[in-house]
A and B are shown apart, each in its own frame.
Chain A
């Protein structure tokens, strides 16, 4: 079944995407960097959705796989001189391989115990970046990450497509230096990852994953190899995380062992729950809402300081997790199926008008 069935849906999609691509032209830098953060989080949560939402394997390792992707892409660019656009997919795949290793316990353990096993990734991987190969990884200090560039040859002493001549490299160069430029990379990756995630959900692979989530014994008796598909889910989730991590590193221009950490893994899980587990739209809704709440926390902090002047630092630091935790509890109680489910109900009500209440 087609995803878009009516002409107006195509129009809305096109206008929406155009508005996002042209965002830097009409918005402040802080808005663009906010949207950029949301986009990168969406990719990571989409990966987690494949693993937790569809396959039912709870994982707290997503941020660790982002770290792998970030480091891998940085090293490919700085040590091997690769272009970022080749380093990104390779970094994503290498994160996938690491994800595969941490997915191996899923053969034997389920639920709570699997959470513990994936949690180990969150401790082992940052430890490795801090303590091993100090000459390359620079320990706890981390790495500075170069700006992604597109190089084009000089034609008739002119540069095309908005590139500028760079004397040092002797070529026309476009730099994705700030979020204003980087957002275009994030947008393209989000569009691709959304298409892939949705395709998974509507085909053989997705049905096999959901069968394992809903009844792994029945799935096995119906000819689905649970272990093989669980590993595939771990691999895909980590590939998504790796891509997100690579983007984050090149956007922040710096990465170390705590750039993305356990808190982020928990945040991703929260985004998924708020957005809706096992739906294609859930990660998009969830990431947007949770990061929006973080922004609100930032905006609210002057007010909190004025109310609690004696403990200003502690109060502002506590504000973000407080709001996040509150939102999570509210969703678990009132809409455990997340914003995506609410969206579905709203659409159904709209189609049924004027008979829906």
Chain B
């Protein structure tokens, strides 16, 4: 049953050291505010799952929260490489991390299998691909009906998933629209689900009947954090702050600059700053 609480309390109650956690969002609706709260609370030894680990995982890895990263594309979208993640992989700074690498198809299928309560996902993939040789979690099964060899990967079953969404109603039902990504699957695959929202409205009575709504009983906690996806965007609320993504390339290129930036913009602030960050957009 969805519990309305502050982001600080929602993170404190649902994210523990050593957890396997997904902060999902596919360019759109990336839960930046929730990730920053996890950084402020200093969680450790996390296994981070994400199709497209971008700035927030770069920040979490650079601040030493991550033990393992399970991913399929580690880049700053449209800009370049993830410099903090590279520094951890190439130079073990600030600590060594383990990487478990998949393709997008495998990750999407693994979330869907998790949401469906299956132990693994089966799909036509990885043919001729080198990842099969370096990731022991990629296996194959033979179709019992046709004999076709198909790829199999374990289902994702995060301890907790964090997503950002447009709206919740007073009951705690959650609306996601626009590029919906893999958030519904990530949330339903997880043991606990925390959602930050732009807005809390009375009810969803006037909505189109087929919109993506996650019923309140699938959500553990909801925190009202306007602007909580910035510099990602929320369809219908504010656009993507492309300049901030470009700027991150410079900030993340230098360890000292990164550390100073994180102190000023993450450690020393609270979730309320996100609303002001999107005002000028």
- Asked if A and B are interacting partners, one says no
Chain B interface residues toward A at CB < 8 A: none
Chain A interface residues toward B at CB < 8 A: none
